[in-house]
Amino acid sequence: MAGHSHWANIQHKKGAVDKKRGKLFGKLSRAIIVAARNGGADTDTNLALRYAIDKAKQASMPKDTIERAVKKGCGELDGENYEEIVYEGYGPEGVAVLCDILTDNRNRTAGELRKIFEVHGGNMGNTGCVSWMFERKGLFVVPSAATDEESLFELALEAGAEDVKDEGEAFVVTCPVEAYEDVKSALESAGVERESAELARVASNTVELDVDAGRKVLKLVDALEENEDVQSTTTNFEISDEVMEALAAEL
């Protein structure tokens, strides 16, 4: 898989998120609120809250903002009542798209997302139309300069990881959801730098895109992630390094 797009896709998403840090904080706050509401404020027993707070810290969210979101979730402060939904659909070239949503108005969000899909050459589908193509995994991106493949492979697999792939500029470590905390702790204890750490959906099969199709799909993804109710998008596209470079040159 070396030379292909998983790393490039991650970099694209990271770049897009960095440009929208203010909006990102709002999305991360929603995730903390919902996790605290569902499981309480104790991160030792509420793994969803621990994960949401970890993501907020990775994005440099201020401590008081995190604490305020936890209090809203636990009912100590007034806050909106968000609903968790997954919307599914297809982008250009039949690319599968999943959107994780936290919204206080399901009808508004559904209408806005349906319009975004249509404008960008896709269509929103029914529940289950593409989710079967993805499996929930722990996903860690480790810069190549942080360690060597053999050492990382041994460390990660010992902690419960399934695979370590060399993506050129980085290693991508995948693990079962239940091993996420163990792998994360092992990397932290060993002092291994991480570009990102998340629970993500990993596609069982992918669609490789050329420059034209890649441009269209990336515009769709960006438009979806601009929506304040969209927590994250997951797709099954692949883009070669050459195509990604051509697209980057257009920015």
CATH number at residue 232: 3.30.70.980
Whether residue 184 sits in one domain with residue 138: yes
Q: How many structural domains comprise the chain? A: 3
Q: Average per-residue pLDDT in the chain?
A: 88
40 φ, ψ (degrees, to nearest 5):
90, 175
Whether residue 55 sits in one domain with residue 157: no
Mean pLDDT of 96-121: 96
- pTM of the predicted model, to two decimals? 0.82
Task: Name the DSSP class of 36.
Answer: H
What pLDDT is stored for residue 9 in this prediction?
53
In the block, tokens 């797709």 appear at: 235
Mean pLDDT of 193-202: 88
Whether residue 228 sits in one domain with residue 110: yes
pLDDT by residue (tens digit) across 20-36? Answer: 566 788 999 999 999 99
Whether residue 210 sits in one domain with residue 198: no
Question: CB–CB of 113/124 below 8 Å?
Answer: yes
Whether residue 195 sits in one domain with residue 167: yes
Mean pLDDT of 146-169: 93
Beta strands in 20-149 (DSSP E): 83-90, 96-103, 123-124, 134-143
**Residues 6 or more apart whose Cβ sits within 8 Å of residue 154:** none
Provide the domain limits for residue 41.
5-73
Whether residue 63 sits in one domain with residue 107: no
**Residues 6 or more apart whose Cβ sits within 8 Å of residue 6:** 165, 167, 172, 238
Q: Is residue 227 part of a domain?
A: yes
pLDDT higher than 60, residue 3:
no
Q: Is residue 78 part of a domain?
A: no
The answer to which of 14-28, 54-68, 152-166 has the lowest mean pLDDT is 14-28
